[in-house]
């Protein structure tokens, strides 16, 4: 500084390149002017407060290998599931019979070109009864690596590649891997607390976790991006459209909601980034490690702490309620509309089915199968008699 002139401190303009295409130029004051070389005078047109420009690559680009590995794992699990299913052994009307044991169940049973519910259950589908009463908690994780059919698999894996690779490049495999798996667990947990009469499979909960993480990352790192309002509106619209699809029948929207909420909170924890001043001063001439600029803003730290507490409390309470056999539908009479809204075109009746075996009053028939949908208003009973030792009935029971 000149003696009494009171010249303002020099500043630099730093251009930040983001892989999202949101570039910004920000002026940053530096605490001391850059050192000059002895004997070298200033240029003719240069003033003590010359504005300098520097190019900064904000974050190191990571090679994405984890997300493609997740896709490969899902494909391999689907192939193994189809092998375990072995449609020709259990049905005479398999789809694509030339595939042998890898052929698909009949369309009337599985329109997604996939295995039977029995095969999915063997491979680790989410079955609340087995989680609670047979202590098979691992199903909360394994179900997110299984899919109901080719169409289901393709939709989820294409979405994972589009969303996941971009995030892994920006944040690395550790943070995105944790975000994906924990969000999937959160989706399974909320699904198990609300949908207890059906099995559930799919990576949708984990995918919605990535979407939730993208939203919270944009919020907590608000100062980094240009055009952030437009980016926020676009992202919210995409999330709203995807969640609205979940109100259709046979779609587990509770897994979507649980994954999204988990990912949204985890995004504040895993995807936090340093503020502008801290990053830019490291590239400013005259930078000193004793700079007083904090790495994170106060609101970032507050969101980090609150989100971490909510995640820990939420998962703990959810697991305790699940292991105690709590059905949240009993405590929330309207929550089922979050997963399916009945209309004139479809029904949302997912009442559990009770099965009962009894003797038939016909010669040589030993067993009868009662399929009775439980309802407060009525009960419909279908009877099916079989010959022999009950093997046929047991196979039919297994298919429900």
Which residues are the active-site residues?
204, 256
Distance between CA atoms of residues 87 and 97, nearest Å: 9
Backbone angles phi, psi at 300, to 5 degrees: -65, -45
Closest CA to 115 of 71, 152, 159: 152
Q: Which of 364, 363, 373, 369 is nearest to 385 (CA)?
A: 369
* Alpha carbon distance 140, 186 (integer Å): 9
Q: Which of 246, 270, 241, 267 shows the shortest CA–CA distance to 256?
A: 246
Contact 211, 183 (CB under 8 A): no
Q: How many residues belong to the chain?
A: 400
Q: List, in order, residues 6 or more apart from 310 with CB less than 8 Å away.
A: 265
Q: Cα dihedral angle (371, 373, 376, 378), rounded to 10 degrees?
A: -60
């Amino acid at each position: 500084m000149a003696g009494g002139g009171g010249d303002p401190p020099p500043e630099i303009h730093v251009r930040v390149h983001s892989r999202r295409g949101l570039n910004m130029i920000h002026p940053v004051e530096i605490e001391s002017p850059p050192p000059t070389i002895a004997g070298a005078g200033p240029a003719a047109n240069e003033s003590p407060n010359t504005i300098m420009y520097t190019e900064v690559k904000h974050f190191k680009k990571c090679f994405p290998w984890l997300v493609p590995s997740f896709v490969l794992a899902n494909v391999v699990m689907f192939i193994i599931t189809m092998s375990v299913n072995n449609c020709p052994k259990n049905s005479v009307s398999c789809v694509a019979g030339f595939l042998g044991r890898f052929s698909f169940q009949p369309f009337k049973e599985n329109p997604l070109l996939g295995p039977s519910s029995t095969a999915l259950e063997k491979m680790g589908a989410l079955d609340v009864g087995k989680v609670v009463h047979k202590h098979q908690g691992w199903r909360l994780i394994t179900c997110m690596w299984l899919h109901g059919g080719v169409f289901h698999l393709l939709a989820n894996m294409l979405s994972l590649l589009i969303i996941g690779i971009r995030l892994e490049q920006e944040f690395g495999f550790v943070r995105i891997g944790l975000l994906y798996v924990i969000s999937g667990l959160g989706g399974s947990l909320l699904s198990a607390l609300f949908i207890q009469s059906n099995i559930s499979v799919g990576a949708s909960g984990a995918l919605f976790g990535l979407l939730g993480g993208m939203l919270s990352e944009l919020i907590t790192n608000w100062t980094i991006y240009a055009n952030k309002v437009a980016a926020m509106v676009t992202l919210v619209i995409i999330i709203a459209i995807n969640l609205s699809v979940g109100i259709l029948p046979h779609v587990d929207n509770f897994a979507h909601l649980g994954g999204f909420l988990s990912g949204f909170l985890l995004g504040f924890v895993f995807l936090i980034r340093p503020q502008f001043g801290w990053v830019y001063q490291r590239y400013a001439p005259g930078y000193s490690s004793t700079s007083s600029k904090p790495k994170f803003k106060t609101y970032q730290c507050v969101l980090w702490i609150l989100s971490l507490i909510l995640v820990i409390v939420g998962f703990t309470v959810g697991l305790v309620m699940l292991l105690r056999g709590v059905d949240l539908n009993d405590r929330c009479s309207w929550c089922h509309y979050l997963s399916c809204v009945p209309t004139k075109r479809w029904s949302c009746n997912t009442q559990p089915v009770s099965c009962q075996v009894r003797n038939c009053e016909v010669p040589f028939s030993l067993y009868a199968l009662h399929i009775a949908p439980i309802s407060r208003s009525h009960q419909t009973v279908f009877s099916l008699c079989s010959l022999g030792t009950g093997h046929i009935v047991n196979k039919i029971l297994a298919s429900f």
